[in-house]
Structure 1
Amino acid sequence: MFRLGGVSSFPLPFAGRLFFSPLFSLPPLASHLFARPNPSVSISSTSAASMAAPPVAKKARHEMEMFGDVRVDNYYWLRDDSRSNPDVLSHLKAENAYTDLMMSDVKQFEDKIYAEIRGRIKEDDISAPVRRGSYYYYERTLTGKEYVQHCRRLITNDGPASVFDVMPTGPEASEEHVILDENIKAQGHDYYSIGAFKVSPNNKLVAYAEDTKGDEIYTVYVIDAENGTPVGTTLKEVTSDIEWAGDDTLIYITMDEILRPDKVWLHKLGSDQSSDHCLYHEKDDKFSLDLQISESKQYLFVGSESKNTRSIFYLDVSKKESGLMTLTPRVYGVDISASHRGNHFFIKRRSEEFYNSELLACPLDNVSETKVLLPHRESVKIQDFQLFNDHIAVYERENGLPKVTVYGLPTTGESILQLQGGRTIDFVDPVYSVDSEESEFSSKILRFSYSSMRTPPSVYDYDMNTGTSVLKKIEKVLGGFDASNYVTERKWAVASDGPRVPISIVYRKDLVKLDGSDPLLLYGYGSYEACIDPSFKASRLSLVDRGFIFAIAHIRGGGEMGRQWYENGKLLKKKNTFTDFITCAEYLIENKYCSKEKICINGRSAGGLLMGAVVNMRPDLFRVAVAGVPFVDVLTTMLDPSIPLTTSEWEEWGDPRKEEFYFYMKSYSPVDNIKAQNYPNILVTAGLNDPRVMYSEPAKFVAKLREMKTDDNMLLFKCELGAGHFSKSGRFEKLQEDAFTYAFILKALGMVAPTSS
């Protein structure tokens, strides 16, 4: 677990699907609220709400000294591990009330944005069905309901169904069975999330992991798949990593007091959790455990990983009594992932020498005897692989874009470990996103999902023998959406030290003038080797259809350009992340995509750190900044090993208990670098139950900004008191958050006229 959580929010497709007319018209009641931006008008200064005084956090001097350096944190008191301090809660509620007041004059407009966003959704829908044994499994959404139903249908035809077949829904179809309705389970909870939904091999049982607070501490329930009857006892305070090892055994992971996944357990159905057998305990606090099952379902793999080292244990599902066996020993700087086919383990290995990874195989009975299947390449990063009985699909990255290459694998003979052919799947957009989906191990069909910033999420079945792709499901976007109205581009900005930084761009070609007068929203992340590939988000149309350009800066610290791209944006090179983002913003301004008066920026979590750093470094460059659950108190957090994630992240940010890292980290940590200067309009969000970025970090950031900044621009703080890192859990609730954020951006740009509340 790490602060990657922000990746899955604002710019990406997971938060929701949504309506705005491609003719750029507004619903009648909202038309009077919209205007093209006028940077000379400060909407906030004309609003009655702006006359209200913002909350002022009390100051209580707290000194922290290290290496002869004294830091004073007057807002340290805002941190409360119990999250129940009445003074803290009172302050957070005051901030929320102030934010509501400041946004009350555009509340009608926010509601209209929400209506158009929600109007783009086909609310009653099903996901692309997945075949498991004798059933099709899928998720169903219902009109007006926040959560999904988990469903299945029995496959009624006698012979083996083609994977290309559409699941029958007519009179010949079997009756749909709802295994679990999250809408019912969520009743009485402000937050509800299922982190895992695992069907037993014989299709008779389901294990699911439930979180009702947003703190990512799960309870696992096992139910009968037919009647929903509970089976056995619950597993409490576990991660969402659970897997079946046969039909009567679960493997799961628990966490230590700082929420580090540190123990893997074997649980026999019918027994109490207290009697479960611990298969492995990871005692090094820089390492965390994860769990994965092979595509063949015959082996479970337990990974023990830090930020740059990963070793693997395996469990033979048919011989559980043998316990975990070591597949690869821990070697510092070597990162391993593995799967299984036939008599061999397949291994992706990264090392300092082979930094973009190589693909290997070894016999089950001699794991030290490895053979290279796909060698390391300087320009191509092996990101992942997916095994089949007769094929292997390799997910790679080249020149900043994902690619999928399929090879044949013989099942017998001397060439059993010889990759055959090598067919790369073609994609049509200049920038796009591709992800693997669940496929049948015995099948010739590879299933993957595809989208771009103008192509809605699409599920394809790809015949690995013929090279034919069949579209199985595309997310329907209502309201007259036409992908041909939008342009996607890949541009390159040149950093001051030489590297070319890719930028992905989308805009509506009939609305954008590209003369510097267009508003632009630039998103960035740049940490943990995460790849922020350009994908579709329907709610984003509420900006793009108002003439916005949307762009993603693929900055160092991310993984888009390979492993070295990441290495050059971490530890003592972390500032490259921030300067790359500034370079991208300057490129967009110089090339007439926008101007300083029209550029807005957004990032979440570690991307929120990016926001905090760049508004301190170049506040003159941006008009609006949105920092979601931002990791902004970097130095204080990384000095405290009692805080979740700290020990495991010393390899990402550095260990500030060492002088070199202390002073380098202090030089960019946003809270430590706030100064008396003008800042952009800023919106900051937090979640009270967030285990990844403690709510107090953004709270302190806002409090200190209020004290120090010299402008009258908006500074709003919104803390969800019943949610965590990923904010609210309901699909419509997430759309409401998008509408609020867009309303803030449009208000700050002067693109919406206030109304009396």
Structure 2
Amino acid sequence: MKQSVVWQLALSSVILATGCQSTPSDNTPPVSKTEIATVTAPIASKIPHKTMIHGYELVDNYHWLRDDTRTSKQVITHLEKENRYTDKVLAPSEALRTQLFSEIKSKIVKDNRSVPVQEGRFFYFTETVGEQEYASIYRSLNVDGSEPELLLDVNELAKLHEFYSLGDIEVSPNTKLLAYTEDTLSRRIYTVKVKDLVTGNMLEDELTGVQGGVIWGNDNKTLYYVKKDPVSLLGTQVFRHILGTPQSQDELVYEEADNTYYTYISRSKDGEQIFIHHYSTESKGISVMSANERNAKPKRLIAREKGLEYSVAKHNDWYYILTNLNAVNFKLMKAQVVNVSNKENWETVIEHQPDVKLEDISLFDDHLVYQSRQQGQSKIIIRELSKNKEHELAFNDPAYRVSMTGNTTLSSDSVRVKYASMTTPSTTFEVDLNDYTKTTLKQDKVLGEFSSDDYQSERVFITARDGAKVPVSIVYKKSLFKKDGSNPLLQYGYGSYGHTVDPSFSVSRLSLLDRGFVYAIAHIRGSQMLGRPWYDEGKKLNKMNTFNDFVDVTKALVAQGYGDKNRIYAQGGSAGGLLMGAVINQAPELYHGVHSAVPFVDVINTMLDASLPLTTNEYDEWGNPNDKTYFDYMRSYSPYDQVSKQDYPNMLVTTGLHDSQVQYFEPAKWVAKLRELKTDDNKLLLKVDMEAGHGGASGRFKRIKDTALNYAFFIELANGRL
């Protein structure tokens, strides 16, 4: 599958993303502890909202906090009160936040250029300079990026907006036009704009209400895009736009009738075909149409089947098919383009291995490069297709993240690989496909006195309560770590959607490690760290395994001396925020402080409302509560429903008013209910970014302020100052 080079570059330029956290007020006056003791937390009104289902009465006293228009004076006033309360309570940490911001920022290279990636005759790259918040987009005829041509000055585009996100960037096949998508509200609803790269002028064409991606037809006049449903925010319709015509005249090419599927588009690596992807949690497929024909109609490659997942890569007259057909951990097949619809014509390229997850492939003229994962460790293997000879790339760190990136040309004689570990900054290699020599193209610099040798990473397995072995990645500063239970420890987790959080490098994390923190990633069930079965064991009616694993990892790390039992902290965002909510209901005594970002905590109410974004598509992840079996199971762990009269840890909850994935009212309601029922005097803070959405603030330095707020919360707690 081919994605725009410049789009990949734009995404890779985003650094230090930490979920949706808020920016501390720059003008908050100093507040003493005595003053803080007198600050009163906002108390939300209780207005019962009742729902009958399966003979059970759901009572939601804080339903009124939901305002889909984001204009209710009553709701906005309450959220602003929460922000003022949080600012007052966190005022003593303002000096530390300022210090952390400066500290992290000082480690970042201000003038930073990405490695140029070739597409056609141009080499594309991004570059940030000085105090710029955003990376601008360039191209050059030279491999070193010299004599660059500026395509988009993103800082100029963003200057009139509190929030700005560049989505997709696509250069036309004749390289004369640039289509790009932008979101200025953080709802992930984009507008397509087109720039003439010859004259520098903008075309009149603007396409609104669009999903992030856009694809050119090979006639240089046709654009394909996915239109979003304005209510559910699902992309359900693929349109074809002819330059110079109004959007109202765009042709509907494909419409998805099943609202359990996402729809998105891409282009084959040879540029000949446009793929329409049909993506649900447990079933995936593709329709294809020619990029050369303006009136092309999509044709489904293979009939959709419940439980069948596949993706394809085109290689001359063949499709290479990555699929779970009779292969829980996936295998690679191939079939001629004309025969692909009949699975009996598929030939095996890489056999299924029950203990090895086949994750990704990249094709070249005479080489296949594939990525697989065994016992949680990724590996990359180069296969010479004509001789069937293989070579595995070696990596030395005990835990790391590796992926293929920027491999856009079939005729290339090298594969590009990006590598990082918890002690090694992100490094881009180019590996010769024939002699396997490895050339370092770039390693991210950390300014100051940083040395990887000062830090140590480990990979351990923790035995969960049911006997499962849970991988954990750990990092700490050698000179400050004693395995005697004296260090503060921050444990991170996610554990949903099969998303695997690989151990990688973080510049901002150094500020924790340099203050004696141990940082651990719990690779709990619900991810695919140990293959597809690891995911299946952490979703739907197995979801409790996710939460149990996290709690059991915490207990084991304390028992093994990695952390001080009185200074254990936890962090997670989105579905990881659900994780935070579940574990503090189950074992609140384990944690001194918790940061829950954009948390999905109102599971039942959300999954019962098909009008909300993501709901219908995710029945295969969580189950459908209209089925009593799933309803009862969800009630057993849903954080909002399971809040009880007990002590809870100190908590920082962050969200964005315009979040399109986890609506702001979930964390707002959750905090209101926690405040009503909790029996402790610990801090409970809600910070709402009134300008941002699920991804938090935009801009590389603005994000550091978010990180500084979160880290200051943990550091001040660990030092007894909050």
648, 652, 661: which one pairs with 1:683?
Answer: 652
On the 8 A contact 1:17/1:477 being kept in 2, the answer is no
Quote the Cα distance in structure 2 between the aligned partners of 1:518 and 1:102. Answer: 25
Match of 1:521 in 2: 490
Q: Secondary structure at the match of 2:292?
A: helix
Q: Is residue 2:338 matched to residue 1:365? A: yes
| Structure 2: tracts of 5 or more residues without a match | 1-11, 19-30
Q: Residues 226 and 599 (structure 1 numbering): CA distance in 2 closer, same or farther, change over 3 Å?
A: farther
Q: Secondary structure at the match of 1:480?
A: coil
529-538 or 57-66: bigger deviation: 57-66
What is the one-letter code of the residue matched to 1:101?
Answer: K
Q: Deviations over 1:552-598 (max 9, x none)?
A: 00000011111110000000000000000011101101100013211
What is the one-letter code of the residue matched to 2:43?
Answer: V
Q: How does 1:587-598 map to 2 (within 5 A)?
A: 587-598=556-567
In the TM superposition, residue 505 of structure 1 has moved relative to its aligned partner by 0.5
Quote the Cα distance in structure 2 between the aligned partners of 1:513 and 1:286. Answer: 50
Aligned residues: 693
Q: Residues 408 and 231 (structure 1 numbering): CA distance in 2 closer, same or farther, change over 3 Å?
A: farther
Match of 2:23 in 1: none
What is the one-letter code of the residue matched to 1:543?
Answer: L
- In percent, how many aligned pairs have the same letter? 40
In the TM superposition, residue 17 of structure 1 has moved relative to its aligned partner by 9.6
Q: Secondary structure at the match of 1:201?
A: coil
Match of 1:426 in 2: 394
In the TM superposition, residue 435 of structure 1 has moved relative to its aligned partner by 2.1
Quote the Cα distance in structure 1 between the aligned partners of 2:13 and 2:133. Answer: 16
Q: Is residue 2:381 matched to residue 1:409? A: no
In the TM superposition, residue 227 of structure 1 has moved relative to its aligned partner by 4.0
What is the one-letter code of the residue matched to 2:157?
Answer: K
What is the one-letter code of the residue matched to 1:268?
Answer: I
54, 65, 89: which one pairs with 2:41?
Answer: 54
Q: Deviations over 1:113-148 (max 9, x none)?
A: 110010001111111111222222111101111111
Q: Residues 185 and 14 (structure 1 numbering): CA distance in 2 closer, same or farther, change over 3 Å?
A: closer
What is the one-letter code of the residue matched to 1:83?
Answer: R
Quote the Cα distance in structure 2 between the aligned partners of 1:748 and 1:51. Answer: 19
Match of 1:748 in 2: 717
Match of 2:215 in 1: 243
Q: Is residue 2:371 matched to residue 1:383? A: no
Match of 1:416 in 2: none
Match of 1:625 in 2: 594
Quote the Cα distance in structure 1 between the aligned partners of 2:296 and 2:455. Answer: 57
Quote the Cα distance in structure 2 between the aligned partners of 1:750 and 1:709. Answer: 24
Match of 1:92 in 2: 79
Q: Is residue 2:533 matched to residue 1:584? A: no
Quote the Cα distance in structure 1 between the aligned partners of 2:375 and 2:628. Answer: 37
On the 8 A contact 2:232/2:611 being kept in 1, the answer is yes
What is the one-letter code of the residue matched to 2:200?
Answer: G
Q: Secondary structure at the match of 2:589?
A: helix
In the TM superposition, residue 511 of structure 1 has moved relative to its aligned partner by 0.7
Q: Residues 92 and 438 (structure 1 numbering): CA distance in 2 closer, same or farther, change over 3 Å?
A: same
Q: Is residue 2:506 matched to residue 1:537? A: yes
Match of 1:220 in 2: 192
Quote the Cα distance in structure 1 between the aligned partners of 2:223 and 2:429. Answer: 31
76-85 or 290-299: bigger deviation: 290-299
On the 8 A contact 1:17/1:117 being kept in 2, the answer is no
Q: Is residue 2:609 matched to residue 1:640? A: yes
Q: How does 1:30-109 map to 2 (within 5 A)?
A: 46=33, 48-109=35-96
Quote the Cα distance in structure 2 between the aligned partners of 1:195 and 1:500. Answer: 39
Match of 2:318 in 1: 344
Quote the Cα distance in structure 2 between the aligned partners of 1:308 and 1:745. Answer: 38
Q: Secondary structure at the match of 1:328?
A: coil
What is the one-letter code of the residue matched to 1:356?
Answer: N
Q: How does 1:267-666 map to 2 (within 5 A)?
A: 267-351=241-325, 353-367=326-340, 368=342, 369-410=345-386, 420-439=388-407, 440-666=409-635
Q: Secondary structure at the match of 1:664?
A: helix
Match of 1:33 in 2: none
In the TM superposition, residue 290 of structure 1 has moved relative to its aligned partner by 1.6
What is the one-letter code of the residue matched to 1:501?
Answer: V
Give 4+ residue runs of structure 1 displaced > 6 Å after superposition: none
Quote the Cα distance in structure 1 between the aligned partners of 2:264 and 2:34. Answer: 51
In the TM superposition, residue 340 of structure 1 has moved relative to its aligned partner by 0.4
Q: Deviations over 1:513-546 (max 9, x none)?
A: 1110101110000000001000111001010011
Quote the Cα distance in structure 1 between the aligned partners of 2:34 and 2:335. Answer: 69
128, 131, 153: which one pairs with 1:141?
Answer: 128
Q: Secondary structure at the match of 1:214?
A: coil
Q: Secondary structure at the match of 1:365?
A: helix
Match of 2:636 in 1: 667
In the TM superposition, residue 384 of structure 1 has moved relative to its aligned partner by 1.5
On the 8 A contact 2:122/2:139 being kept in 1, the answer is yes
Match of 1:163 in 2: none
Quote the Cα distance in structure 2 between the aligned partners of 1:109 and 1:329. Answer: 58
657-666 or 375-384: bigger deviation: 375-384
Q: Secondary structure at the match of 2:203?
A: coil
Quote the Cα distance in structure 1 between the aligned partners of 2:355 and 2:335. Answer: 26
On the 8 A contact 1:313/1:324 being kept in 2, the answer is yes
On the 8 A contact 1:17/1:118 being kept in 2, the answer is no
What is the one-letter code of the residue matched to 2:176?
Answer: K
Quote the Cα distance in structure 1 between the aligned partners of 2:185 and 2:297. Answer: 34
On the 8 A contact 1:679/1:711 being kept in 2, the answer is yes
On the 8 A contact 1:295/1:388 being kept in 2, the answer is no
What is the one-letter code of the residue matched to 1:308?
Answer: E
Q: Residues 13 and 709 (structure 1 numbering): CA distance in 2 closer, same or farther, change over 3 Å?
A: farther
TM-score (norm 1): 0.90
Q: Deviations over 1:594-639 (max 9, x none)?
A: 1321110000000000000000100001111000000000011001
Match of 1:16 in 2: 16
In the TM superposition, residue 16 of structure 1 has moved relative to its aligned partner by 2.6
Q: Residues 226 and 748 (structure 1 numbering): CA distance in 2 closer, same or farther, change over 3 Å?
A: farther
Q: Secondary structure at the match of 1:538?
A: coil
| Structure 1: tracts of 5 or more residues without a match | 1-11, 19-43, 156-165, 411-418
Q: Secondary structure at the match of 1:529?
A: coil
Match of 2:178 in 1: 206
On the 8 A contact 2:547/2:582 being kept in 1, the answer is yes
On the 8 A contact 1:17/1:121 being kept in 2, the answer is no
Match of 1:414 in 2: none
Match of 2:158 in 1: 186
On the 8 A contact 2:401/2:502 being kept in 1, the answer is yes
On the 8 A contact 2:215/2:223 being kept in 1, the answer is yes
Match of 2:695 in 1: 726
What is the one-letter code of the residue matched to 1:142?
Answer: V
In the TM superposition, residue 198 of structure 1 has moved relative to its aligned partner by 1.3
